[in-house]
Amino acid sequence: MCGIVGYTGAAPAEPILIEGLSRMEYRGYDSAGVAVQQGEAIEVVCRKGKVSELAHTLEHFDLDGTCGIGHTRWATHGKPSEANAHPHTSCAGDIAVVHNGIIENFAELREALIGRGHVFKSETDTEVVAHLVEEAYHRLREAGTGDLRAAVAEAASQLVGAYGLAVMAEGEPGTLIVCRKDSPIVVGRGEMGSYVASDIIAMIDATRDVVVLADDQMASLTAEGIAYFDMDGNPLEPEVTHVDWDIDVAEKGGYPDFMLKEIHEQPRVIRDTLAGRLSGGALTIDELDMTPAELNLIDRVYVIACGTSYHAGLIAKNLIEGWARIPCEVEVASEFRYRNPIITPTTLVVAVSQSGETADTLAAIRDARVRGAKVFGITNVVGSPVARESDGVIYTKANKEIAVASTKSFLGQVVSLTLLAMLLGQSTGRLTGGQIKLLFSELADTAEAVERILAECGPAVEEAARAMVDATSALFIGRGMGAATSYEGALKLKEISYLHAEAYAAGEMKHGPIALIDENFPVVAIATDSPVYDKVVSNLQESRARGACIIAVATEGDEDIAKHADHVIYIPKVRDAFSPITASVPLQLLSREVAVLRGCDVDQPRNLAKSVTVE
Ligand code: F6R
């Protein structure tokens, strides 16, 4: 997610902005920029890539102004580039804006602004804000009826979507106006002046007494102080929060570990991954750089990946074959690279990797390309080797994942692969426009379902975790989409709690694993509403008859399941195709809870690394 910083005070702004942006680097970004008030002018410097590259570029500028704003951007509208990096400016360059969030009605605003003579320099949604503020600011100033604060309020009133904004104008040197809706903005006073950021971590060295703006609140920052307003300009007395976290906790956003923080980021990941993908009723993934006709030629898909990313592939297989009717194989990259897979020029290889640098996945990509396949990468890291070496890339908008166990990246991968399956269905003509729209809207609704799971299923997860904490082994079972989900559930549990776990397609129970079952062997079943629900329940009964403690993840309203399970974790109903998105979340929470109860280091499990760059 993007990051905002701003400062106005007695000290030069540039080093403060760079320090704040560096502190937010962990969130992930693809470009960075600052705008500093130099005398009466606003100087803007942006760079694609790292904050350190921006800092290096700034060494060639002599910026000593004491008021400025800065931003790290993760592309949503428009590719990562210098032109699309924030701050964005008005036609005359006298207004500079940084923005977090997504402005949903930007296309119509942009068209109207162009119609009124505005000239755009970027492809971003944000730039409309600079032009809207420009119009309002000059009109209000000429009429003597308003200032920059009023102009920002007027501009914000036209926006649909989410925004955290920081704005400055040449006409009001030393002033920063900030406001928010559904995107965080924090302000605070330090010894050297006034600070704003989208994340407390960016200003924690300057002050620990902060005001977290609520939606539809604004603040006007000057070197002398901060004034708070509602969007109509009425003064407010906001509540000051004292932050007593150390830096480590601040980075965790108040959560006890990164894994829990990252699990809670998943509704945002779903929304960001879907943003901008449906336009005019059609799905577009421009980054893949293939026409519908080229996509239509694909007659075989391989998904290659390792670990959790491989499990995302297992989920995708069902969707690609179901919606596009194209045969799809999912293979661990370390196997794929050493065999002789059947690849033709009409084969599509989809390489999935959170880090974008997993050695086996990279080797498999190279091998597939040599054999003539088209390769799509799905990765979380902009500019990573997987992104660079693939023909096209979809970025999962998870932001940097710090906990070794992948959670939000996994969900980003599943959502991205779901979009790819829909795109293939669309280009083969197997999914109609109406079906695409319906699927997309139900997919978008999973964000809210995950939000509810995070808010409501804590007690049930804790109860289930206590029931399995002393076990030495656990079995995860499911069928169909539930089978794919159960593989990921078992991996998550074993890697962070060191409790041995295995996953089986539930229909396989009688072919061997049932011999293991006794009262010390908990069974976690994915028993959500699906065409194979009754079959899963039969498998539960078989396990229960042998004394197993049953933990079921089931759909809200399914009271019957309580007769077959010792513990039930209820989740909202979603389409079966999307059930891995929701059902994975309680399994992530369950693994973490078991790991905590067993005293394990949740974020850094033994023997594991975040990125596996060796074979
Ligand atoms: C488990 C986990 C690993 C990775 C695997 C592949 O939580 O994170 O299993 O999924 O090492 O890594 P990437 O996705 O970076 O290629």
Q: Whose CA is nearest to atom 3 of ligand 1?
A: 307
Distance, CA 489 to ligand 1 centroid (Å)? 14
Distance, CA 389 to ligand 1 centroid (Å)? 19
Model confidence at 347, in pLDDT bands (50, 70, 90)?
A: very high
Residue 114 belongs to a domain:
yes
Which pLDDT belongs to residue 408? 96
| Ligand 1 atom closest to the CA of 405, numbered from 1 | 7
- Using CA atoms, how far apart are residues 369 and 348, in angstroms rounded to an integer? 10
Q: 87: cis peptide before it, omega within 30°?
A: yes
Q: Which of 189, 220, 244 is the last residue of a domain?
A: 244
Residues of the chain with pLDDT > 90: what percent? 77
Strand order in the sheet with 374-379: 328-332, 300-305, 347-353, 374-379, 392-395
Distance, CA 354 to ligand 1 centroid (Å)? 7
Tell me, yes or no, whether 504 and 529 share the same domain: yes
- Using CA atoms, how far apart are residues 571 and 135, in angstroms rounded to an integer? 48
Q: Whose CA is nearest to atom 7 of ligand 1?
A: 405
- Using CA atoms, how far apart are residues 41 and 44, in angstroms rounded to an integer? 10
Q: What is the mean pLDDT of residues 420-431?
A: 95
Looking at 2, 46, 67, 179, which residue is catalytic?
2
Distance, CA 461 to ligand 1 centroid (Å)? 24
Model confidence at 450, in pLDDT bands (50, 70, 90)?
A: very high
Hey, CA dihedral for 382, 78, 397, 249, is it positive or negative? positive
What three-state secondary structure class fits 66? coil
Give the residue, out of 263, 304, 308, with the most ligand 1 atoms within 8 A of its beta carbon, to mutate for a pocket test. 308
Q: What is the mean pLDDT of residues 162-167?
A: 94
**Total count of domains within the chain:** 3
Give the residue, out of 390, 406, 414, 417, with the most ligand 1 atoms within 8 A of its beta carbon, to mutate for a pocket test. 406
Q: 326: Cβ–Cβ under 8 A, 6 or more apart, which residues?
A: 298, 299, 300, 301, 320, 424, 428
Residue 457 CA: distances (Å) to CA of 461, 494, 569 = 6, 21, 7
| Ligand 1 atom closest to the CA of 611, numbered from 1 | 15
Distance, CA 308 to ligand 1 centroid (Å)? 5
Tell me, yes or no, whether 62 and 190 share the same domain: yes
147-150 long-range contacts, Cβ below 8 Å, gap at least 24? Answer: 147/172, 148/172, 148/175, 148/177, 148/220, 149/177, 149/218, 149/220, 149/229, 149/233, 150/233
What three-state secondary structure class fits 305? strand
pLDDT digits (tens, 9 = 90+) for 557-599: 999 999 999 999 999 999 999 999 999 999 999 999 999 999 9
Q: Whose CA is nearest to atom 5 of ligand 1?
A: 307
**CATH number, domain containing residue 476:** 3.40.50.10490
Give the residue, out of 314, 358, 389, 404, with the most ligand 1 atoms within 8 A of its beta carbon, to mutate for a pocket test. 358
Structure-token pair, residue 552: 């079921």
Does the structure show a pLDDT above 70 at 59? yes
Distance, CA 555 to ligand 1 centroid (Å)? 29
Tell me, yes or no, whether 352 and 214 share the same domain: no
Tell me, yes or no, whether 304 and 410 share the same domain: yes
CA–chain centroid gap for 454, Å, is: 16
Which pLDDT belongs to residue 137? 97
Contact 473, 521 (CB under 8 A): yes
Tell me, yes or no, whether 205 and 275 share the same domain: no
pLDDT digits (tens, 9 = 90+) for 223-282: 999 999 999 999 999 888 887 666 666 678 789 999 999 999 999 999 989 988 998 789
Q: Whose CA is nearest to atom 8 of ligand 1?
A: 406
Look at residues 170, 182, 80, 161 and name the one whose alpha carbon lies nearest to residue 130.
Answer: 170
Q: 549: Cβ–Cβ under 8 A, 6 or more apart, which residues?
A: 467, 468, 519, 522, 523, 566, 567
> For the chain, how far is it from start to end, CA to CA, in angstroms?
31
Q: Which of 215, 244, 273 is the last residue of a domain?
A: 244
Residue 354 belongs to a domain:
yes
Distance, CA 481 to ligand 1 centroid (Å)? 20
Residue 26 belongs to a domain:
yes
Structure-token pair, residue 283: 């799905």
> 344: exposed, middle or buried (C-beta count within 10 Å: 0-12, 13-18, 19+)?
exposed
- Using CA atoms, how far apart are residues 551 and 530, in angstroms rounded to an integer? 18
Structure-token pair, residue 86: 């924030």
- Using CA atoms, how far apart are residues 289 and 389, in angstroms rounded to an integer? 14
| Ligand 1 atom closest to the CA of 413, numbered from 1 | 14
Distance, CA 406 to ligand 1 centroid (Å)? 6
Element (H, E) at 89: strand 88-89
Residue 613 belongs to a domain:
no
Q: Provide, for the chain, the percentages of residues in helix, strand and coil under a 3-state DSSP scheme, each rounded to the nearest 5.
A: 40, 25, 35
Mean pLDDT across the chain, nearest whole number?
93
Tell me, yes or no, whether 277 and 296 share the same domain: yes
pLDDT digits (tens, 9 = 90+) for 193-205: 999 999 888 998 8
| Ligand 1 atom closest to the CA of 386, numbered from 1 | 16
Looking at 437, 535, 573, 610, which residue is catalytic?
610
Q: 209: Cβ–Cβ under 8 A, 6 or more apart, which residues?
A: 188, 189, 240, 241, 242, 243
| Ligand 1 atom closest to the CA of 307, numbered from 1 | 9
| Ligand 1 atom closest to the CA of 308, numbered from 1 | 10
pTM: 0.72
Which pLDDT belongs to residue 589? 98
| Ligand 1 atom closest to the CA of 361, numbered from 1 | 16
User: Where is average pLDDT lowest: 71-80, 412-421, 435-444?
Assistant: 71-80
Q: Whose CA is nearest to atom 16 of ligand 1?
A: 353
Which pLDDT belongs to residue 612? 73
Distance, CA 390 to ligand 1 centroid (Å)? 18
Residue with tokens 């050297």: 192
Pocket of ligand 1 (CB under 6 A): 306-309, 353-355, 358, 361, 405-406, 495, 611-612
Tell me, yes or no, whether 228 and 305 share the same domain: no
Look at residues 240, 77, 260 and name the one whose alpha carbon lies nearest to residue 162.
Answer: 77
Give the residue, out of 259, 304, 309, 310, with the most ligand 1 atoms within 8 A of its beta carbon, to mutate for a pocket test. 309
Q: Which of 424, 439, 456 is the last residue of a domain?
A: 456
Tell me, yes or no, whether 42 and 171 share the same domain: yes
Tell me, yes or no, whether 171 and 210 share the same domain: yes
Q: What is the mean pLDDT of residues 179-200?
A: 92
Tell me, yes or no, whether 154 and 267 share the same domain: no
Residue with tokens 């809706």: 181
- Using CA atoms, how far apart are residues 48 and 73, in angstroms rounded to an integer? 9
Residue 2 appears among annotated catalytic residues: yes
Contact 94, 138 (CB under 8 A): no
> 558: exposed, middle or buried (C-beta count within 10 Å: 0-12, 13-18, 19+)?
middle
Contact 435, 462 (CB under 8 A): no
Q: Where are the alpha helices (DSSP H) in 457-499?
A: 458-468, 481-497
Concatenated DSSP letters of 190-259? ETTEEEEESSGGGTTTT-SEEEEPPTTEEEEE-SS-EEEEETTS-EE-PPPEE----HHHHHTTT-SSHH
Residue 185 belongs to a domain:
yes
Tell me, yes or no, whether 522 and 567 share the same domain: yes
Does the structure show a pLDDT above 70 at 446? yes
Does the structure show a pLDDT above 80 at 77? no
Distance, CA 149 to ligand 1 centroid (Å)? 47
Per the model's pLDDT, the better-predicted residue between 76 and 198 turns out to be 198
| Ligand 1 atom closest to the CA of 612, numbered from 1 | 11
Residue 121 appears among annotated catalytic residues: no
Give the residue, out of 306, 394, 410, 603, with the most ligand 1 atoms within 8 A of its beta carbon, to mutate for a pocket test. 306
Tell me, yes or no, whether 264 and 230 share the same domain: no
Contact 447, 397 (CB under 8 A): no
Q: Given the DSSP bridges, would you call strands 88-89 and 41-48 parallel, antiparallel or unpaired?
A: unpaired
Residue 210 belongs to a domain:
yes
Distance, CA 128 to ligand 1 centroid (Å)? 39
Query: What is the residue range of 528's domain?
Result: 457-603
**Amino acid found at 75:** A
Contact 578, 528 (CB under 8 A): no
pLDDT digits (tens, 9 = 90+) for 106-151: 999 999 999 999 999 999 999 999 999 999 999 999 999 999 999 9
Q: Whose CA is nearest to atom 10 of ligand 1?
A: 308
- Using CA atoms, how far apart are residues 401 and 257, in angstroms rounded to an integer? 12
Concatenated DSSP letters of 140-195? HHHHTS--HHHHHHHHHHT--B-EEEEEEETTSTT-EEEEEESS--EEEEETTEEE
Residue 608 belongs to a domain:
no
Structure-token pair, residue 418: 């779901």
Model confidence at 27, in pLDDT bands (50, 70, 90)?
A: low
Q: Where are the alpha helices (DSSP H) in 265-389?
A: 266-274, 292-296, 307-319, 333-336, 359-370, 385-389
Does the structure show a pLDDT above 80 at 609? no
Residue 612 belongs to a domain:
no
Q: Given the DSSP bridges, would you call strands 193-197 and 186-190 parallel, antiparallel or unpaired?
A: antiparallel
